[in-house]
């Protein structure tokens, strides 16, 4: 049965799509204090359905004296939002990593892998592993310290490929100092498989994702034809990797920060922080959600207005498919939304949904309809989300996780949604929030 809530509608005509502002219930599961519990969660959460645990990282906090605000943490909590626990506190220095800005990757044995932006032998970042040792405890080991030619300052989550090979990116370093794509073998060897040159992209903030053919897809925040960033694909051709980028031109988006999301048909979804048409928030454009299809190429499926719907999306989108094969995209915008009060002049950001064609919440003739599900408000619930949304499945047949008129009502986000918020909250160190009807 679908529950009914009163909706506040805000209709924004934009690129032929309609944005709806709705109300929903937000619960703060944890307010980061900046002490030993961590602070500034920037990365997506990871869910392990086998254990019911959710894992994440904080960039700072943890209490190490080697970093001014602490060197960061790895934490866990239950799917219900309870049981927050710090699993590891980074020490920094030459023997450990520091300041993880990326989320975690898990293998079949429950080992957790990640990167740190700094720390390690050369203070250029690390690849680390957390091995479960029983009783909910983990042992940490540094798998690799970056040195510069092999990359520097990784910002992104690792991708686990065939034969347990880990793939990732670094923001800097490599042959041209503009960043790399690398692989890390189970035997312990790290090697650069692509160095960005500028025209092919530069300074990737996001990691790579693998498609069914084993190709690597990603984004760069800069570089390309207009130095506004690229979408790239790396295909292994026997002895080398080649790149096929899409260069952003501003009108179709600019400066993508986030990883790409792939569906079962090979279509690619993502966000760009800026670009799109001029908006009320900035003449440079408030950012877009885009789709890249092998048959039809690149298209912008939503452009943010900088008003109640938000602006500057810097996180990836989460794809949810119901049993009728209808698609829904969930994400966050880091700015705009609520402005004033405990929110800065740039706003506190929003949680949004895009309903695909055929879904119960898709409106009109457009393929995708945007709904603003929640405006962050600063002290209560946090502000400036830099990470995406963890959506718990399953999704019912022909049932949108959030149910809108004309059918009436407003359901919950499937079995629940959870998102880390980078700042704000009662102690200004960020929050972990859950969302229901």
Question: How confident is the model at residue 126, as a pLDDT?
Answer: 98
345 occurs within a structural domain:
yes
Identify whether 184 is part of a domain.
no
Q: Is residue 289 part of a domain?
A: no
Task: Characterize 216-241 residue by residue with b for buried, 16 or more Cβ atoms within 10 angstroms of its Cβ, and e for exposed.
Answer: bbbbbbbbbeebbbbbbbbeeeeeeb
pLDDT of residue 23: 53
Say if 153 falls within a structural domain. Answer: no
Helix, strand, coil fractions of the chain, as percent rounded to 5: 0, 45, 55
Could you tell me if 199 and 225 are in contact, meaning their C-beta atoms sit under 8 angstroms apart? yes
Residue whose entry in the numeric block shows the structure tokens 């890249």: 292
Q: Are 389 and 418 in contact (CB under 8 A)?
A: yes
Q: Taking the chain, what is the end-to-end CA distance rounded to the nearest angstrom? A: 13
Flag whether 407 is in a domain.
yes
Which DSSP helix (H) or strand (E) runs through 171?
Answer: none
Give a yes or no: residue 202 inside a domain: no
Query: What is the Cα–Cα distance from 90 to 67, expressed in whole angstroms?
Result: 10
DSSP state, residue 215:
-
Domain count, the chain: 1
Six-digit token string for 255: 């400066």
Two tokens, residue 148: 């510069």
Three-class SS of residue 236? strand
In a domain, 147, yes or no: no
Strand partners, 311: 335
Tell the residue number behind the tokens 């499945």, with chain if given. Answer: 393
Q: Does the pTM of the predicted model rise above 0.85?
A: yes
Q: For 100-130, give the DSSP string.
A: --S--EE-TT--EEEEESEESTTSS-EEEEE
In a domain, residue 292? The reply is no
Strands 17-21 and 369-375: parallel
Q: What is the pLDDT along the chain (437 residues), one digit of tens a residue?
A: 222 222 222 222 233 344 555 556 789 999 999 999 999 999 999 999 999 999 999 999 998 999 999 999 999 999 999 999 999 999 999 999 999 999 999 999 999 999 999 999 999 999 999 999 998 899 999 999 999 999 999 999 999 998 999 999 999 999 999 999 999 999 899 999 999 999 999 999 999 999 999 999 999 999 999 999 999 999 998 888 988 889 999 999 999 999 999 999 999 999 999 999 999 888 899 999 999 998 789 999 999 999 999 999 999 999 988 878 889 999 999 999 999 999 999 999 999 999 888 887 888 777 899 999 899 999 888 999 999 999 987 544 444 444 433 333 333 455 578 999 999 999 999 999 998 75
Domain hosting residue 388, numbered range: 1-36+309-437
* Contact yes or no for 62/86 (Cβ under 8 A): yes
CB-based contact 389:417 (threshold 8 Å): yes
């Amino acid at each position: 049965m679908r529950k009914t809530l009163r909706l506040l509608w805000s209709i924004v005509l934009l690129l032929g799509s309609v944005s709806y502002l709705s109300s929903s219930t937000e619960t703060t599961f944890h307010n980061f204090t900046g002490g030993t519990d961590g602070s500034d969660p920037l990365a997506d959460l990871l869910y392990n359905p086998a254990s019911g645990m959710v894992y994440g990282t904080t960039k700072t906090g943890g209490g190490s004296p080697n970093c001014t605000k602490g060197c960061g943490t790895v934490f866990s909590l239950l799917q219900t939002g309870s049981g927050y626990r710090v699993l590891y506190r980074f020490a920094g220095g030459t023997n450990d990593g520091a300041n993880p800005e990326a989320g975690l990757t898990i293998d079949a044995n429950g080992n957790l892998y990640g990167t740190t932006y700094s720390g390690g032998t050369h203070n250029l970042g690390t690849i680390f592993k957390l091995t479960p040792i029983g009783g909910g405890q983990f042992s940490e080991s540094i798998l690799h310290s970056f040195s510069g030619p092999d990359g520097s300052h990784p910002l992104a989550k690792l991708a686990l490929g065939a034969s347990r090979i880990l793939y990732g990116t670094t923001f800097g370093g490599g042959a041209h100092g503009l960043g790399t794509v690398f692989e890390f073998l189970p035997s312990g060897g790290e090697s650069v498989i692509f160095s960005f040159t500028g025209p092919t992209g530069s300074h990737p903030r996001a990691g790579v994702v693998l498609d069914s053919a084993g190709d690597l897809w990603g984004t760069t925040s800069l570089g390309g034809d207009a130095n506004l960033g690229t979408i790239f694909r790396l295909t292994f051709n026997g002895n080398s990797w080649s790149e096929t980028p899409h260069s952003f031109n501003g009108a179709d988006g600019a400066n993508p920060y986030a990883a790409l999301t792939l569906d079962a048909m090979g279509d690619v979804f993502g966000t760009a922080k800026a670009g799109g048409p001029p908006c009320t928030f900035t003449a440079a454009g408030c950012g877009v959600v885009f789709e890249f299809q092998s048959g039809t190429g690149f298209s912008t499926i939503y452009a943010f207005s900088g008003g109640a719907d938000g602006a500057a999306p810097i996180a990836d989108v989460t794809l949810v498919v119901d049993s009728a094969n209808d698609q829904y995209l969930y994400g966050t915008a880091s700015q705009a939304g609520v402005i004033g009060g405990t929110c800065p002049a740039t706003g506190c950001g929003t949680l949004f949904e895009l309903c695909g064609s055929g879904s119960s919440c898709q409106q009109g003739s457009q393929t995708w309809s945007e709904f603003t599900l929640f405006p962050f408000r600063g002290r209560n619930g946090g502000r400036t989300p830099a990470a995406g949304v963890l959506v718990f499945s399953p999704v019912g047949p022909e049932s949108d996780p959030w149910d809108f008129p004309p059918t009436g009502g407003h359901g919950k986000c499937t079995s629940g949604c959870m998102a880390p918020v980078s700042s704000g909250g009662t102690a200004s160190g960020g929050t972990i929030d859950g969302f229901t009807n």
